[in-house]
Amino acid sequence: MFVHDTLLQRLKRGCETIGYPREAPPALPDRHGGALRLESSHCVADCSACLAVCPTAAITRPAGGSVRLDLGRCLFCAECVKVCPEGAIRPTGDHRMAVRRRDDLHLGDPGGEEVRLAAALDDQLRRLFGRSLKLRQVSAGGCNACEADTNVLGTIGWDLGRFGIQFVASPRHADGLLITGPVSRNMELALSKTYAAVPDPKIVIAVGACAIAGGPFVGHPQVHQGAGSLVPVDLFIPGCPPHPLTILDGLLRLLGRLGAESKKP
């Protein structure tokens, strides 16, 4: 009877996997806020309120220049949004933030006001990985927040496997690495060996502010300021932690699996 009731209830619930990317993406919760937009032309000439509250020095203002924002360092704490008197920095609610080049996360002159979203892999790599991508996840000293949101993608609501993307236990069975954490000194050798064990050609994905630039540990002598200092990175997904939708969007964008349906309604 118990098994019968369980199956009956499961049938009544139907499919619980989100329709994205065929359908519009779900809205991000308010506390995530999505990508930030910087309109440096709105800045007051002598204002430095946002610089003072940024915990990772993601906001800078060169002498005689305009404000710049590094989304790779940003923890998305929104303190800069709160203190800016002119609204020069504001959340957009857009989940799309993944980029191919580290410099594409720099907003403000000469970087522009918004992130330049990731382009797909070249044709050869897309033929290899576009339908089947196996990743070895490496937690290189992270707090488990990015790791948790990555794990969420394997649940029934997201079902990462439907896109042919799976996490594997051995780097020898992987097509690439997904790295979280600031890469502590204790994880340096482990990451290097894991990277070497992945057969060529391979890709590397840095997820979260720590893996991109060191996060809240930036500048600490016991971390490497992100994965890029040890291994070449092919995709940067900012956030602290990035929302599962942001991670999924980045993965699909890298594989060329997104078209017009990826545009935010």
pLDDT tens-digit profile of 227-236? 999 999 999 9
Element (H, E) at 195: helix 188-197
φ, ψ of residue 142 to 5 degrees: the values are -80, 170
pLDDT tens-digit profile of 169-185? 999 999 999 999 999 99
- Domain containing 222 — which CATH number? 3.40.50.12280
- The mean pLDDT value for 233-245 works out to 96
Q: Provide the pLDDT confidence category of residue 264 given band limits of 50, 70 and 90.
A: very low
pLDDT at 113: 81
pLDDT at 259: 63
Question: Is 82 domain-assigned?
Answer: no
Determine the structural domain holding residue 129 and report its residue range: 123-259
Q: Provide the pLDDT confidence category of residue 218 given band limits of 50, 70 and 90.
A: confident
φ, ψ of residue 62 to 5 degrees: the values are -60, 150
Across 82-91, 141-150, 235-244, least confident range: 82-91
Question: Is 66 domain-assigned?
Answer: no
Question: Is 178 domain-assigned?
Answer: yes
Nearest to 54 by CA among 33, 36, 77, 37: 77
Across 45-49, 195-199, 217-221, 247-251, least confident range: 45-49
Residue for token digits 């930030």?
A: 36
Question: Is 37 domain-assigned?
Answer: no
Question: Is 228 domain-assigned?
Answer: yes
Question: Is 22 domain-assigned?
Answer: no
Mean pLDDT of the chain: 89
Q: How far is the CA of 237 from the CAs of 20, 31, 45, 252, in angstroms?
A: 18, 18, 32, 12
Q: Provide the pLDDT confidence category of residue 3 given band limits of 50, 70 and 90.
A: low
- Comparing 189 with 218, the larger pLDDT belongs to 189
Tell me the percentage of the chain whose pLDDT exceeds 90. Answer: 65
Q: Provide the pLDDT confidence category of residue 111 given band limits of 50, 70 and 90.
A: low
The separation between CA 188 and the C-alpha centre of its own chain, rounded to angstroms, equals 21
Question: Is 86 domain-assigned?
Answer: no
Q: Which residues pair with 70 in a beta bridge?
A: 106
The domain total for the chain is: 1
* pTM exceeding the 0.85 threshold for the entire prediction: yes
Question: Is 218 domain-assigned?
Answer: yes
